Structure 1
Amino acid sequence: MLSEQRKFQILNAVKEKGSITNSELKELLDASESTIRRDITELDREGKLIKVFGGAISVNETESFEELSMQQKSVINLDEKKIIGELAATQIKPGDCVYIDSGTSTGFLVDAVSEKEAVYVTNAVAHAKNLVLRGFKVFLIGGELKETTEAIIGETAILSLQKYHFSVGFFGTNGISLKRGFTTPDIREATMKKVAIQCTAPQRRFILADHDKFGLISTVKFADIGDAIIVTDAKPAEKYANSLKLILPEQADEPK
């Protein structure tokens, strides 16, 4: 197969899947791994894809494997997260059993919560403390405490989560991709998010994410892109706006 033919097929595969590995391309094209790497390097130089370790991703998506601490995250996009938290809080109704995931975006939701006729469940120590000191009824999931994100994780936490049925749930994410879904850096936190989403009423699962999260891909997928409504601070690119259920500042009452 000629070089240009291989490159054409590589670009088609990346466009279709969002990302692809060298091993997948080796099988698809019946070419050596060194040939695949050379083609990817040339396409990367031409700006037609992004070369990453072990493969390539679409130029419209960026892989993000770094996990920031709560302190680091707490100073990023503060105004946007405040808007998102206030929008998300309007979705809580009297009588709800509410799950609130750990994270800084959900922390702004906690700050904005006002519904006292609801029960709140969280795997974040800081969220639980914030709520209980303000007179809300709170249940804190038990398990292992992770230092960097201050989240409760692990098998004990999973078993605790599975006892609940949440009428509404709010979750953070590190990346939003049409093809790769919602992703996060840590497999243990991803498992917590996945189980909590499964325990939440399908029509009332909300992902809280500022505009910078669109197009990012982190290490571990925890939900498909259609599994939740995204609460965000600004309308994303058309390919997202036309494909996703969104709650934006100008229309907080009904998801698109």
Structure 2
Amino acid sequence: MIPAQRRAMVLEQVQRRGTISIQELVEAIAVSSSTVRRDLEELEAEGLLERTRGGALVQSTRRSTYEPTTAVAAGLAREEKKAIAKYAIGMLRSGQSVIFDSSTTVREVANLVVSSGLPITALTNDLGIGEVLGSSNSVTVIIPGGTLRPGSLTLKGEPGPEFWRTIRADVLLLGTHAISEGSLSETSLDLAAQKRLMISAAERVVLLADSGKFQSPAFCQICSLSTVSEIVTDSKISDADLQMIADHGVKLQIVVVESRPDRRATN
């Protein structure tokens, strides 16, 4: 198991339980206590949790601009992301133009597009997703360009903004850092601005967000929840968040994860 994947598992355990001991993490992940301690130190340094004597707990003072590294983010909610992606690819049709936002869940859809051989025109602001889609002879890949964000594969800034203003795509597969209080939010102004441009460039906006994304707001707002056409999430979503979505009149699809009872999709 690579370190980033292991740290993602540690972080998931802490987030799921609220507080956890080193011994509980050792048993849950099947690694040594010294390895767990190193992972906790690394995650605390990133501002993703707080160390306690003999364990860890969720970050009590949330930092709205903090986000996990790309490698750790890819390991979070892996089964949820795969289930969401499996449903999402069924929404795509041959010959469509599809915007792939920079998102670990959206990247899972890109993997399925390649394995299925679906012929589409793909537009993306993510070099990693572009590389995945570029391995298929059935996909035409367009990358608008820009400056690479430090520590990620996401492009930001010129010439991207002008490009997004000149196109009209059939579908946008959108990711977000947080969903709360009827809004989508991100950790940085440039990310939020770019997502708004992609939303404006799409006929249909499909938000792909695992239930862990329903959390307190990040640094800046992207848009109102009612801006999106549809949300695809997993069966761990809370009743309160279901009500929030219903209040905004957004179409919802929930996929089953870990054999948990499914909830009905609502409009």
TM-score between both structures, scaled by the size of structure 1 = 0.69
Match of 2:15 in 1: none
Structure 2 matches for 1:79-94, cutoff 5 A? 79-94=79-94
TM-score between both structures, scaled by the size of structure 2 = 0.67
Gaps of 5+ in 2: 1-59, 246-250, 257-261
Q: Report the 3-state secondary structure (helix = DSSP H, G, I; strand = E; otherwise coil) of the residue aligned with 2:145.
A: coil
Give deviations 1:37-68, integer Å, cap 9, x for gaps.
xxxxxxxxxxxxxx97xxxxxxxxx7643122
Match of 2:181 in 1: 178
Give deviations 1:7-37, integer Å, cap 9, x for gaps.
xxxxxxxxxxxxxxxxxxxxxxxxxxxxxxx
Match of 1:147 in 2: 150
Deviates more, 1:235-244 or 1:150-159: 235-244
Match of 2:212 in 1: 212
Residue 240 (str. 1) matches residue 236 (str. 2): no
CA distance in 2, matches of 1:216, 1:111: 30
Q: Using CA pairs under 8 Å that are at least 6 residues apart, name the structure with larger relative contact order, 1 or 2.
A: 1
- Per the alignment, do residues 149 and 81 of structure 1 end up closer, same or farther by CA in structure 2, a change over 3 Å counting? same
Give deviations 1:128-161, integer Å, cap 9, x for gaps.
1111112211111211111323111103111111
Deviates more, 1:63-72 or 1:214-223: 63-72
Structure 2 matches for 1:218-233, cutoff 5 A? 218-228=218-228, 229-233=230-234
CA distance in 1, matches of 2:64, 2:108: 23
CA distance in 1, matches of 2:95, 2:266: 21
Match of 1:7 in 2: none
Q: How far did 1:116 drift?
A: 2.7
Matched AA of 1:191:
A
Q: Report the 3-state secondary structure (helix = DSSP H, G, I; strand = E; otherwise coil) of the residue aligned with 2:159.
A: helix
Structure 2 matches for 1:1-256, cutoff 5 A? 64-113=64-113, 114=116, 116-135=118-137, 136-179=139-182, 181-201=183-203, 204-228=204-228, 229-234=230-235, 236-244=237-245, 245-249=251-255, 256=267
Q: Report the 3-state secondary structure (helix = DSSP H, G, I; strand = E; otherwise coil) of the residue aligned with 2:75.
A: coil
Would the aligned equivalents of 1:93 and 1:115 in 2 still touch at CA under 8 Å? no
CA distance in 1, matches of 2:164, 2:97: 13
Match of 2:46 in 1: none
Q: Report the 3-state secondary structure (helix = DSSP H, G, I; strand = E; otherwise coil) of the residue aligned with 2:184.
A: strand
Gaps of 5+ in 1: 1-50, 53-61
Q: Report the 3-state secondary structure (helix = DSSP H, G, I; strand = E; otherwise coil) of the residue aligned with 2:107.
A: helix
- Per the alignment, do residues 84 and 140 of structure 1 end up closer, same or farther by CA in structure 2, a change over 3 Å counting? same
Q: Which protein shows a greater Rg?
A: 1
Match of 2:49 in 1: none
Q: Report the 3-state secondary structure (helix = DSSP H, G, I; strand = E; otherwise coil) of the residue aligned with 2:169.
A: coil
Matched AA of 1:106:
V
- Pairwise CA RMSD of aligned residues? 2.4
Matched AA of 1:147:
P
- Per the alignment, do residues 63 and 147 of structure 1 end up closer, same or farther by CA in structure 2, a change over 3 Å counting? closer
Q: Report the 3-state secondary structure (helix = DSSP H, G, I; strand = E; otherwise coil) of the residue aligned with 2:190.
A: helix
